[in-house]
Chain A
């Protein structure tokens, strides 16, 4: 389990995941609107987390650790999009509308 090619793959995956995590954090901090912030947080929750966990799998030393990482990956794969969808649905039901157009006007059904 300690081939050099595995270490190279681990570097590639973990650095890509860290980069996507940083991009998601910047978007969560900088984007103007709640629904666009969901998009930025979704980058962190999906690809950032998956790439970091896959990179950890390449550098794990036993099969039990790999199995735990697979379980963690499946949990995140199931729960993160579900949480994002439920959050957007709850916000839309409560009357929050996305900003639409070049001037970022609040749009939606009831305009």
Chain B
């Protein structure tokens, strides 16, 4: 008998392949960031579901850490793409530099 965790794992793996295809073929850099962010969310789900599939729900700790790292990474890459710098870019800093 197939379990629901195996079905969800298969669906997530298929969906991750689609996301990787978009990340490789994406025309703009934002497409790639979006695909990698979505890939990270699916990785979190895959870790959680695989923990239940293998009977070891302690994998949820890894899923929690990965969710936070994925969010921080997306925000950092996006700030770098938008401002060209990871440091603070307030108006005050620009005024002080001039």
Contacts and interface: CB of A to CB of B under 8 A. Distances in A.
Partners in one complex: yes
Interface residues of B, number: 42
B42 A21 contact: yes
A72 B48 contact: yes
A90 B81 CA distance: 8
Interface string B74-88: 110010011000000
A65 B55 CA distance: 12
Contact size class for A?
Answer: 35 or more
Interface of A: 10-11, 14-15, 17-19, 21-22, 24-26, 28-29, 34, 37-38, 41, 44-45, 48-49, 52-53, 55-56, 59-62, 65, 68-69, 71-72, 75-76, 79-80, 82-83, 86-87, 90-91, 93-94, 96
Contacts of B12: 18, 21
B34 A18 contact: no
A24 B42 CA distance: 11
- Please report whether the interface of chain A is mostly helix, strand, loop or mixed according to DSSP: helix
13 contacts: A17-B8, A22-B14, A24-B15, A25-B18, A28-B34, A37-B34, A69-B48, A72-B60, A72-B63, A76-B44, A79-B71, A93-B82, A94-B82
Contacts of A15: 4, 7-8
